[in-house]
Amino acid sequence: MKGAYVHIPFCEHICYYCDFNKVFIEKQPVDDYLNALEKEIIEGLSENDSRIETIFIGGGTPTALDNKQFHKLLQIIERHLVASELKEYTIEANPENLNETKLKLMRSYGVTRLSLGVQAFQNDLLKEIGRPHSRTDVFDIFQKARQAGFNNISIDLMFGLPNQTEKMLKESIDIAMTLQPEHISIYSLQVEPKTIFYNRMKKGKLHLPGQDIEAEMFELVISELEKNGYTHYEISNFAKNGFESRHNLLYWNNEQYFGFGAGSHGYVKDNRVVNAGPIKNYIKLVEDTGRAQTAAHPVTRKEKIEEELFLGLRKLSGVQKKRFYEKFQCQIEDLYSEEIKRLVEQGLLYEDEDKIALTRQGVFLGNDVFEAFLA
C-alpha cells in the first residue's frame, strides 16, 4: 500500500458550489471523530501492508479544527502513518482558518506540502461563490507559510464561475504568479445537485459563462501557466519541475491506497472500498467493530484495465505501453486497436512506440476519450 487519504469532513462555512462530503463544524463531535479515526487507522494497518509513501489529509477543511484538535490529528497521523518510507505529506487548508500555530505544528510533524484553497483573487467573486476569505488573507497566510518553511505549496483556483470574465481569470493567474506556488490545481465549476448553486440554476438565477467562453478560459489557463514555467502534467494540474503531486499521481497511476475517515473511498487489496457516513454512523461503526467499511467491490481484471486507461490518460504523459504490458501481460493495441485508431484519426489521441496520450484537443474533450475505453 503506497498512499493514505485521511478525510476530515468539517467546514466552518459551506461554499455555494460544494457537493463534497462535509458538514458544518459547529456542535459536531470532533474529538470522538478523531478517536474513531485513530482506531480505524490502527485496524486498517494491522491487516495490510502499510509502507505508506504519501499521506493526504483532505476534507472538508482539516484546518477548520481548532489548534488543539489539529494538534491531536497530527499526533495520530505521526503515531501510525509516518515512517521512513514517507515521501510526501500534504494537508489541505483554507486561508481563513489556517494560522501560524497550525503552520508551525505542521512543520514540526513533518508535513511537507500545503494545499491552499484560494479559488479566485477578487473579493466580490469570492463572496459570490460563498468563500469567506479575501485576497489579503491569501497573501498573508501564503507569506506566513513560506516563513514557516513550506517550500512546496499548491493553490486551488477555479474558472467558469458565475459572472467571472476572462479578464478576471487572467488577473487571478497574474496574482497567483506573484506568489509563485510550486503547484496549481485549476478546475472549472461543475454545478452539482444539492448545492446552493444548483437551486439558483433551477430558478434561472445563476449566470455562468457559456461553454465556448469556458473553453477559452481553459485555453488561457494552459497558455499562461505554461508561459510561466509550469508543466501541465494532468488535465487540471500544473507544477514546477519536480513538484507534481505524488499522492494524486497514485490515483492516476491506478495504485492502491487507504481511505480513512467518514465516507472516504479506498482501493485496498484489489477492492474499491467505501467507509460509513455520515459522521455519527461512522463513529458508531468504528467504536463497535474497529472497522469503517460498509461496501467493498472486488475489481475485476477488465475493470482494472479500463481504470488504468481512463485514469492514466488524465496524465499528459499518457499511458506507457511497457508498464501496461507488465501489469496485464497484454498489449493495449491488442485490446483497443479500433478505439485507438478512431481517436487518433479524430485528433484526440496521440500514439507512438512507447505510449498513448491525449493531444491538446483531447485535453479539452477528455470525457469523449475516456468513454471509448469503457465497456
Q: Which residues bind ligand SF4 (CB under 6 A)?
A: 11, 14-15, 18, 20, 22, 59-61, 94, 117
- Name which of 44 and 58 has its Cβ closer to ligand SF4: 58
- Which residue pairs, CB below 8 angstroms and at least 24 apart, start in 249-255? 249/315, 250/2, 250/3, 250/54, 251/311, 252/311, 252/312, 252/314, 252/315, 253/311, 253/312, 253/315, 254/304, 254/307, 254/308, 254/311, 254/312, 255/2, 255/3
152-to-112, 227, 239, 285 alpha-carbon distances in Å: 7, 20, 10, 37
3 vs 22: CA distance, rounded Å? 22
Q: How far apart, in whole angstroms, are the C-alpha atoms of residue 179 and residue 176?
A: 5
CB of 13 to ligand SF4, least distance (A): 7
In total, the chain counts a number of residues equal to 375
Query: Please, are residues 160 and 214 in contact by the beta-carbon 8 Å criterion?
Result: yes
Q: How far is the CB of 30 from ligand SF4 (least distance, A)?
A: 15
Residue type, 143: Q
Neighbours of 29 (CB within 10 A): 12
Closest residue to ligand SF4, based on beta-carbon distance: 18
Closest separation in Å from C-beta 326 to ligand SF4: 37
Give the nearer residue to ligand SF4 in terms of CB position, either 9 or 318. 9
As given in the structure block, the three cell numbers for residue 244 are 507534481
Minimum distance between the CB of residue 24 and ligand SF4, rounded to whole angstroms?
9
Closer Cβ to ligand SF4, 96 or 224, answer by number: 96
- The nearest distance, CB 60 to ligand SF4, in angstroms, is 5
CB of 95 to ligand SF4, least distance (A): 10
Q: Which is nearer to ligand SF4, 55 or 126 (CB)?
A: 126
Q: Whose Cβ is closer to ligand SF4: residue 61's or residue 122's?
A: 61
Cβ proximity to ligand SF4, 60 vs 181, nearer residue = 60
State the minimum distance, in angstroms, from the CB of residue 343 to ligand SF4.
Answer: 34
State how far Cα 37 lies from the chain centre.
20
**Distance in Å, CB of 94 to ligand SF4, minimum:** 6
Query: Which positions ≥6 away from 158 have C-beta within 8 Å?
Result: 119, 120, 129, 186, 187, 188, 189
* 44 versus 160: smaller Cβ distance to ligand SF4: 160
Handedness of CA 236, 239, 241, 243 (dihedral sign): negative
Nearer to ligand SF4, 52 or 145 (CB): 145
Q: Which three cell numbers stand for residue 186?
A: 485549476
